[in-house]
Structure 1
């Protein structure tokens, strides 16, 4: 009788041990992915993009915020996709993305650019579900100022890309930000007095950029 009880106790022990092991495995497997309930860090903001983002003095323009500049000169949509995990490691409360101009520069098809931008949005949602996503339309250029290296760029293509991006944002239910009204002249060109070369921005352009976000209660 005693032997039978010992066998039953041992069987229960093995049974419990097995399910405990399964629970540990499940937790360890999930630890490498973002947890849907993970909290974000308040007042932490990421600006993500290419050289236009990189040059911005975001921390100076937004005192009191923890601003992380993740702009890399020459970056494209595939580059942003590849480094999203790093960009979101701080679990920012907000992320502002502007990417695509260099994709146009290298001749990437519009449909591929849009597809990559959608992937970026979806990946951010997956990695940091509580981070608020703001997708900024690519800024226009001043075609008359562009050097030969940038001659492939034109506002017609930028406009088409932004129309597709805005539609994608609506479908993905994230906010699209259009900075054109405050940075372009009456002909739709980037304001000459705000640009260094027709593509890149002078410091005063970033001041206008941030004030626009603040005026619209985004920051």
Structure 2
């Protein structure tokens, strides 16, 4: 029997097995390190969408504010796994003047998309259109100055001709004018398909029901989805 040859073969096999075990250990070690690194890696920080408005944004009259169009937008975003969180900054009864006073406090927090929904109460109170326009512009200026990279959206509003057709016409035109002058995204009419429809509004005839808010959410979504 060729003992020297056999010893050499056994040595070669042992060396090969040792090499394989070493490679497996190294591979396992690399996987462990990679897994640990991934576990420690922070999740991407969510971007922020702020809806700044009045009772429509605040979902006035609904038992659950999440049934309002802002809450429904958040649900849509979550269902699509988009990395955004929605902040509802709606205050019932807010006018553009009140919003202009409140915006400085809100801007203490960072934002990436700003949706301005104000003016409806101005129109119902007969506030001069020039004043409404001035306040909307002031709010947008403040947001842009603080967060110049933020995407701005203006929600258009219309009112019935109770105060005269000219006033209603001038009021409606304000939103298109402001959006064009600032080169920002416009939602032509937030209440499209809901305003004036009794079955989609609460008994006050002004604030949408939960079903009405579903339509508002669609009106908003078709405009802002491409911004996300």
* Alignment gaps of 5+ in structure 1: 1-40, 144-151
Could you give the per-residue CA deviations for residues 142-193 of structure 1, whole angstroms, max 9, x where no partner exists? x8xxxxxxxx667864442121221121111111111368425xxxx52222
Residue 112 of structure 2: SS of its match in structure 1?
strand
Task: Describe the shift of the 1:155–1:47 C-alpha distance in structure 2 as closer, same or farther (beyond 3 A).
Answer: farther
Q: How does 1:20-99 map to 2 (within 5 A)?
A: 42-55=46-59, 57=66, 58-63=70-75, 64=78, 65-99=84-118
User: How many residues matched?
Assistant: 166
**1:114 corresponds to which residue?**
133
The one of 187, 204, 207 equivalent to 2:211 is 204
Q: Taking structure 1 as reference, are residues 60 and 208 closer, same or farther at Cα in structure 2, changes over 3 Å only?
A: closer
Question: What is the CA–CA distance in structure 2 between the aligned matches of 1:51 and 1:74, rounded to whole Å?
Answer: 6
What corresponds to 1:173 in structure 2? Answer: 183
Q: Quick check: 1:191 aligned with 2:203?
A: no
For the residues of structure 1 that align with 2:97 and 2:180, how far apart are their CA atoms?
Answer: 22
Deviation, structure 1 residue 69: 0.9
Q: State how far apart, in whole Å, the 2-side matches of 1:48 and 1:181 are.
A: 16
Listed as ranges, the gaps of 5+ residues in structure 2 are: 1-44, 60-64, 79-83
Query: Aligned Cα RMSD in Å?
Result: 2.6
Displacement of 1:47 after TM fit?
0.8
Partners of 2:72 and 2:217 within 8 A in 1? no
**Structure whose alpha-carbon radius of gyration is higher:** 2
CA distance in 1, matches of 2:191, 2:94: 25
Task: Looking at secondary structure, tell me which structure has more helix per residue.
Answer: 2
Q: Residue deviations 1:14-61, cap 9 Å, x none?
A: xxxxxxxxxxxxxxxxxxxxxxxxxxx643111111111111532354
In 2, the alpha carbon distance for the partners of 1:140 and 1:128 equals 31
SS of the equivalent of 1:92 reads coil
User: How far apart, CA to CA, are the structure 2 residues paired with 1:109 and 1:140?
Assistant: 13
Give how far 1:84 is off. 1.1
Q: Aligned residue for 1:164?
A: 174
